[in-house]
Amino acid sequence: MKVAVLGTGIAGRTIGSKLVSLGHEVAMGSRTADNKSAVAWAREAGDLGRAGTFEDAAAFGDVVVNATVGVFSLAALESAGADNLKHKVLIDVANPLDFSRGFPPTLSIVNDTSLAEEIQRAHPEALVVKSLNTVGADVMVNPGMLPGPHNIFLSGNHGEAKALVSGLLESFGWRRDDIVDLGDITTARGVEMYLPLWLKFFGAFGTGHLNVHVVVAR
Amino acid sequence: MKVAVLGTGIAGRTIGSKLVSLGHEVAMGSRTADNKSAVAWAREAGDLGRAGTFEDAAAFGDVVVNATVGVFSLAALESAGADNLKHKVLIDVANPLDFSRGFPPTLSIVNDTSLAEEIQRAHPEALVVKSLNTVGADVMVNPGMLPGPHNIFLSGNHGEAKALVSGLLESFGWRRDDIVDLGDITTARGVEMYLPLWLKFFGAFGTGHLNVHVVVAR
């Protein structure tokens, strides 16, 4: 599969490397074609990796991963080019965390909408699926590092797109039974608004290597 | 122990009944002394139960539980009387869910503050502890109804108050190891902003008899 990974932060690099290790061709996109982090990542990734602008990467990918900083995601996707996102599965792993007033961050989009919904609205012909934003990068691509069952979530309006993402998650090591389809793209509000609690868990447990398991009455 | 339970909804009635079953004296408070739900509850509760206004109940209790509808909690606590809350442990189980624009609700207090913080600010001499707001009423008082470990959280500025609430939670059936102290009262932002996700879980799993277990790398 040809995948565009937009964003050169820890999430983008980790997802990109995992995809390469699984044999996918990955183009990492950033604001500038000569982004040092992206170029270094592509060099390390070898034949299957390349770096370019958001637009270059999105044009290359059959699937697009939005791993940009959440408060800049809409701008990044706009510069990726609407035509390059059309009819493609767009996996949104970003969180609209606003650190401009320091720590802890607030959510720049909240309550009656979500980043994923705003992306879907801005790109109505893209097949947006929210996922992976509820765990740190290490856990995203290596769920087995945590003991016992724990869950990852899907939100989106397009069943076939969620099925593709579910398969990708399984290839990352997520067990099918632990992948929970929460429903349409509005359910992204829930997983995005969970982030402040994730940050409190980080503080209380002293590690970001954590996740939640949803326990339901039998 | 003498406990005031403010709020006559399912959470208030369930917590009140559990407290009575554990031998505590419980005064259920509502806006009016003749609230039908509270009077019926008190009749059923027997000798250990009584009903009255928010003020009556708060004056009676050594510990106060805020189980009022979240968007009205600050008004309810104001009418309970600041003097009746002074130096008392105030357990805030409410969520500031605003249903005025329909379902799903939004949070009327969000991001850089929380209902619990606003309560602590309005009543600086009360010992506010946020807890139990992350589960439905049935699970609050009967955590064993769910299989395997799952967590309940504490947020507050007062260690001795959190210790008292922790003991109360243990008497409800929560295992000490599953009670997580998230930190000071600002951590209530996390547990309150989790509510939209809880509602999505309810939708996806078809039951409110659920909770999360935080899984941490060993």
Decide if A3 contacts A93 (C-beta within 8 A): no
Q: In sequence order, what are the beta bridge partners of B28?
A: B5, B51
Query: Quick check: A190 and B211 CB within 8 A?
Result: no
B180/A204 Cβ within 8 A = yes
**Beta B63-66 vs A49-53: how paired, if at all?**
unpaired
Put simply, the chain B residues between 90 and 149 with a CB less than 8 A from any chain A CB are 101, 104, 106-107, 110-112, 145-149
The first and second tokens of residue B172, run together, are 């409800």
Q: Is A85 on the interface with B (CB under 8 A)?
A: no
- Choose the closest CB to B215 out of A147, A200, A218: A147
Residue type, B168: L
Contact at CB, A193 and B193, closer than 8 angstroms: yes
B13 touches chain A (CB under 8 A): no
The amino acid occupying position B51 is: A
Residues with Cβ < 8 Å from B2, sequence gap 6 or more? B24, B25, B26, B27, B60, B61, B62, B63
d(CA A185, CA A8): 25
Look at B215 and A148 and tell me if their CB atoms are within 8 Å.
Answer: yes
Summarised one tens digit per residue, pLDDT across range B36-91 is: 999 999 999 999 999 999 999 999 999 999 999 999 999 999 999 999 999 999 99
Check A211 against B210: CB less than 8 A apart. no
Which residue(s) pair with A127 in the sheet?
A89
Could you tell me the two tokens for A58? Answer: 């999105």
Residue A61: pLDDT over 90: yes
Using an 8 Å Cβ cutoff, are A57 and A6 in contact? yes
CB contact under 8 A, A183 and B200: yes
The CB density around residue A43, as the number of other CB atoms within 10 Å, is: 11
Interchain CB distance below 8 Å, B197 and A194: yes
Nearest-5° Cα angle at A140, A136 to A146: 80
Min Cα–Cα distance to chain A from B150, Å: 7
User: What 3-state class would DSSP assign to B147?
Assistant: coil
Contacts of B181 in chain A (CB under 8 A): 204
Q: End-to-end CA distance of chain B, in Å? A: 39
Question: Is the Cβ pair A204, B191 closer than 8 Å?
Answer: no
Write the pLDDT tens digit of every residue in A173-189: 999 999 999 999 999 99
Beta strands B106-107; B97-98: pairing state: antiparallel
Element (H, E) at A181: strand A179-183
Residue A218, pLDDT above cutoff 90? no
Please list every residue in chain A whose beta carbon sits closer than 8 Å to the beta carbon of residue B210: 214-217
Q: How far is CA B165 from the centre of its chain?
A: 11
Please check whether residue B14 is in contact with residue B141, taking contact to mean a CB–CB distance below 8 angstroms. yes
8 A C-beta contact, residue A51 and residue A43: no
Which of these, A42, A144, A55, A95, lies nearest to B197 by C-alpha position?
A: A95
Q: Which residue of A has its CA nearest to B187?
A: A200
The SS3 of residue A4 is strand
Residue B148: list chain A partners with CB under 8 A. 215
Would you place residue A170 in the very low, low, confident or very high pLDDT band (cuts 50, 70, 90)?
Answer: very high
pTM: 0.97
Instruction: Give me the total of CB pairs closer than 8 Å, taking one residue from chain A and one from chain B.
Output: 133
Spans of chain B, pLDDT less than 70: none
Query: Do the beta carbons of residue A32 and residue A23 sit within 8 Å?
Result: no
The verdict on B40 touching A (C-beta cutoff 8 Å) is no
d(CA A117, CA B19): 43
CATH of span A2-205: 3.40.50.720
E strand segments, chain B: 2-6, 25-30, 49-53, 63-66, 89-92, 97-98, 106-107, 127-130, 152-156, 179-183, 210-216
Looking at residues A122-147, what average pLDDT do you find?
98
Residues present in chain B in total: 218
What confidence score (pLDDT) does residue B218 get?
86
